Amino acid sequence: MSSAPERSRSVSPAEGAADRIRAGILAGDFAPGQRLIESELCERYGCSRGAVRAALVDLEHEGLVERIANRGARVRAVGVEEAVAITEVRMVLEGLCAAKAAERVTEVQVAELRDIGRRMREAVAHGEVVVYSGLNTLLHDRLREIGRQPVASDLLANLLARNVRRQFKLALRPGRPQVSLPQHLAIIDAICARDPAAADRAAREHVADVIVAMREMDG
């Protein structure tokens, strides 16, 4: 699961407020369905009322927030069917990014990916679920960086943000690391072999299994 991309330019007050509120939502500081009260957000993040209001509009467009007439804004809850639909789109984009990474990976990056795979195996062997979850996020982030497909990366960041709580819940599900580890290793192997078709296929198969697990978790 990815954080918001860093900007090289200066940001407006509204963008700064959106970044802070988004980070709070992704970190679980606000629960699904929780009201987002402008005055409280201003005090919490040191932003003006106008910046917070504009930020909430931006976050509504991203699908993280919903605004209800006469009731203000709240964190948008994502149901299982919408989560599956989001993940189906993610499956295509993850496959594209993996294929691009296989085309563009350098020897230094091959060594880095192999090291991430080694650390993932060790985390599973020692039952370190949170460590494994962090390495999972690191791997997917690095694949997008190596693939250098900025449009796909931006779309994935938005999709992951909208589904981050469900993804985190799934990552901590007992037995999930043992299932996803060989899938991640297959992605790494295909990219390190510089085989775009195999990388695309491995990434899609991994995300397809995520969809199955989501349905089982909510079943």
Q: Is 90 exposed, middle or buried (0-12, 13-18, 19+ CB in 10 A)?
A: buried
Which candidate, 76, 58, 50, 80, places its Cα nearest to that of 4?
58
What are the start-end ranges of the H helices in 126-175?
Answer: 129-147, 150-162, 164-171
The amino acid that residue 49 corresponds to is R
Q: Token pair 């390190």 is at which residue? A: 192
- Give 155's DSSP letter: H
Query: What is the pLDDT, as a whole number, of residue 219?
Result: 58
Q: Is the dihedral of CA 201, 204, 210, 211 positive or negative?
A: negative
Joined tokens for residue 35: 């009201």
pTM for the full model?
0.76
Q: Token pair 């880095």 is at which residue? A: 112
C-alpha to C-alpha distance for 143 and 21, rounded to whole angstroms: 27
C-alpha distance from residue 166 to each of 13, 68, 163, 197 (Å): 30, 23, 6, 29
**80-217 falls under which CATH superfamily?**
GntR ligand-binding domain-like (1.20.120.530)
Taking only the tens place, the pLDDT of each residue in 80-96 is 888 899 999 999 999 99
C-alpha distance from residue 163 to each of 4, 111, 125, 129 (Å): 14, 31, 28, 19
DSSP bridge partners of 68:
72
- Give 5's DSSP letter: P
Taking only the tens place, the pLDDT of each residue in 51-89 is 999 999 999 888 889 888 878 899 888 888 888 999 999
Mean pLDDT split into 10-residue runs, the chain, 219 residues: 48 88 81 89 93 92 84 85 92 97 98 98 94 92 95 88 74 86 98 98 96 82
CATH architecture of 13-75: Orthogonal Bundle (1.10)
Joined tokens for residue 53: 């209001």
Instruction: Give the burial string for 192-212 (b: 16+ CB within 10 Å, else e).
Output: beebbebbbbbbbebbeebbe
Query: What is the pLDDT, as a whole number, of residue 107?
Result: 97
Q: Do the Cβ atoms of 199 and 187 come closer than 8 Å? A: yes
Q: Token pair 């599900």 is at which residue? A: 173
Backbone φ and ψ for 160, nearest 5 degrees, come out as -65, -40
